Amino acid sequence: MSARRASGEGVARLARARALGERFLYRTDEVAEETVSSTATTVPDETGFDAVGWDALRQEVLDCTKCELHKSRTQGVFGSGTPDTGFMIVGEAPGYYEDQQGEAFVGKAGQLLTKILAAIGFGRDEVFITNILKSRPPKNADPTPDQIAACEPYLERQIEIIDPAVILALGRHAARTLLGVDGSMASLRGRVFEYRGVPLVATYHPAALLRNPNLKRPTWEDVQLARKVYDEELQRRASQ
């Protein structure tokens, strides 16, 4: 297991992050340009990160024809950010802009996710963001069981290579799929689950926050919880 170095500046940074987070919560106008200096830790090469396996997996996804979605997609969306991280985010599937650009979580929901991440001290380039499905379902339809069964092994291999300290699942469909349970997001959020041995926190999808600002408060609580789990897991690994 990769031992990732725990941050030594966490308290001060998180205080600033919380201040930014409060603005994220209560402002509806553009968030100020201020950014949080992130100290998200990374995995040095000597820890054994499998760069060759990662690149091969990316190419496999981009070439994949395992389900019918390859026929309608513009391109596969492997994920965005860095695999050299302990903080992994999993959504449901690429949407229109993701399909066009080949990046995960772009467009307005992606911009909001960027602000949410900044509020807990991460830049987008310091986490890895992906989806359960790597190809866009036409008209953004819900993933089918067959599509999930075909595509989930890619996510499992991403998790195996990254070895994240925590997974943040965004949206009801992502949470239900990863946890294998039914239930509303209200019943799944605010708790720590496990997905293949990795701590998992579920919260609302940024697109839901754009439709309903009342979801910002519970989302803020959830992302803080995910950050706390991340910090604790880093400390646990560092002490081993």
Position 162 contacts ligand SF4 (CB under 6 A): no
Position 177 contacts ligand SF4 (CB under 6 A): no
Interacting span for ligand SF4 (CB under 6 A) from 13-21, 39-47, 68-76, 172-180:
68-76
Picking from 146, 123, 119, the residue whose alpha carbon sits closest to that of residue 133 is 146
Closest contact distance (angstroms) between CB of 94 and ligand SF4 is 9
Please tell me the distance from the alpha carbon of residue 35 to that of residue 33, in angstroms, as a whole number: 6
Closest contact distance (angstroms) between CB of 91 and ligand SF4 is 13
Position 159 contacts ligand SF4 (CB under 6 A): no
HSE value, Cβ hemisphere, 13 Å, CA-based, for 116: 31
Position 178 contacts ligand SF4 (CB under 6 A): no
Position 157 contacts ligand SF4 (CB under 6 A): no
Q: Which residues, including other chains, have CB under 8 Å from residue 49's CB and lie 6 or more apart?
A: 2, 43, 83, 84, 161
Position 151 contacts ligand SF4 (CB under 6 A): yes
Position 133 contacts ligand SF4 (CB under 6 A): yes
The smaller minimum CB distance to ligand SF4, of residues 7 and 130, is found at 130
Return the residue matching tokens 């100290």: 39
Do residues 222 and 201 make contact, with C-beta atoms less than 8 angstroms apart?
yes
DSSP string, 216-228: HHHHHHHHHHHHH
From 16, 18, 66, 237, residue interacting with ligand SF4 (rule: CB under 6 A): 66
> x/- site string to ligand SF4, residues 76 to 105, per CB under 6 A?
x-----------------------------
Interacting span for ligand SF4 (CB under 6 A) from 6-14, 35-43, 128-136, 177-185:
128-136
Please tell me the distance from the alpha carbon of residue 214 to that of residue 74, in angstroms, as a whole number: 34
Q: Tell me the two tokens of residue 77.
A: 């969306």
From 17, 67, 165, 166, residue interacting with ligand SF4 (rule: CB under 6 A): 67
Position 216 contacts ligand SF4 (CB under 6 A): no
Q: Tell me the two tokens of residue 39.
A: 């100290």
Could you give the residue ranges of the DSSP H alpha helices within 28-74? 51-62, 69-72
Do residues 81 and 127 make contact, with C-beta atoms less than 8 angstroms apart?
yes
The smaller minimum CB distance to ligand SF4, of residues 69 and 162, is found at 69
The smaller minimum CB distance to ligand SF4, of residues 12 and 56, is found at 56
How many helices (H) and strands (E) the chain has is answered by 10, 6
Site residues, ligand SF4 (CB under 6 A):
61, 64-67, 69-70, 76, 133-135, 147, 150-151
